[in-house]
Amino acid sequence: MSKQLFDKVAESIAKDHPSFKIRYKNESRLMRLLAVLAYPFNESFADGYITTLGSTVYFPSREDVEQSYAHSADTLAHEGVHIFDAERHGVWFTLSYALNQLALLPLMIAFAILGSWVPVVALVGGTALAYSALWLMMKLTSNRDARSLPFFALVGLAGISYLVLSVWLAHWWTILGVAAFAPLIPVSSRLRAKWEYRGYAMGIAMQYWRFGSVPDSHIEHRIGTFTGPDYYFMDRNAERVRDKLNDIRASVIDGTILLGALARPYQRTLDVLKDLGLVKGSASA
């Protein structure tokens, strides 16, 4: 039944989004490259996270899906919400998801033009060298700490070079050069949180529809996802996150999550559960 649920959820997404595909990270060159880029900050990107680009959902591997079709079905339904939102809102979805961090680019370009391009080249070049060292260390050793040490050492050296060259060549424009990194400060990203609340609402809904209740432990477990580093601290106010998740739970129980133009991903998933006879919780508005 779990495999059937997974297949039916996939079919329901494909019906709404014909370009939808399921792929696997260990079979994708792009995902292997992204895994190297993410490695210093997220060691589990390749084998612990599901990633959606456009309408393609990347699971870590076929074996990962087969080990737990039920969990994979829940995750796929979650990603189906993101596919729906990305298609409905277009480029705004992508931009708003990473808006805080994307602000670095125009600030860095402005510094290169008004201050000096030399520190920027030193930083970019040093970071590229650091990633080259990381790739080499990943080939030479399985020790995760040993892999990352040269990377952070070289990035640190590049950062110091950037600062020294900025003061030397750009003088007061160094203030702009330093300000360019302000978007990397892990402050709350309410727009990113907005999209992820919609995604994780699917997990709350499936929990209720399938099992008839959503225990407080389910809500408490999810708070850290929003306040912690998994999504770069997208909402650091734990009480606000708890209140929002409780509101979502209430909307699932009273059925209002199924109302409105943005409810399509939830309704189609509920329809799948009904077709398979898996609904235990009341699901009518």
Domain boundaries, the chain: 1-97, 102-184, 187-285
Q: For position 218, what pLDDT does the model report?
A: 94
Q: Whole-angstrom Cα distance, residue 277 to residue 265?
A: 19
Of 86-90, 99-103, 193-197, 222-226, least confident by mean pLDDT is 99-103
Q: For position 10, what pLDDT does the model report?
A: 97
Cβ atoms of residues 270 and 8 within 8 Å: no
Q: For position 284, what pLDDT does the model report?
A: 56
Q: Where are the alpha helices (DSSP H) in 23-117?
A: 29-38, 45-48, 62-67, 69-89, 91-97, 99-102, 104-114
Number of H helices, E strands in the chain: 15, 3
Of the CA atoms within 13 Å of residue 255, those in its CB half-sphere come to 5
Instruction: Express each pLDDT in 88-133 by its tens digit.
Output: 999 999 888 888 788 888 999 999 999 999 999 999 999 999 999 9
Of 103-107, 141-145, 226-230, least confident by mean pLDDT is 141-145
Q: For position 42, what pLDDT does the model report?
A: 79
Over residues 172-181, mean pLDDT: 90
Mean residue pLDDT of the chain comes to 91
Closest CA to 241 of 253, 252, 228: 228
How would residue 283 be classed by pLDDT, with cut points 50, 70 and 90?
low
- Does residue 285 carry a pLDDT above 80? no
Cβ atoms of residues 108 and 121 within 8 Å: no
Over residues 160-184, mean pLDDT: 91
Close Cβ partners of 237 (under 8 Å, ≥ 6 residues apart)? 188, 227
- Does residue 255 carry a pLDDT above 80? yes
Angle between helices 29-38 and 118-140 (to 10 degrees): 110
Chain-centroid distance, C-alpha 197 = 12
Identity at 142, one-letter amino acid code: S
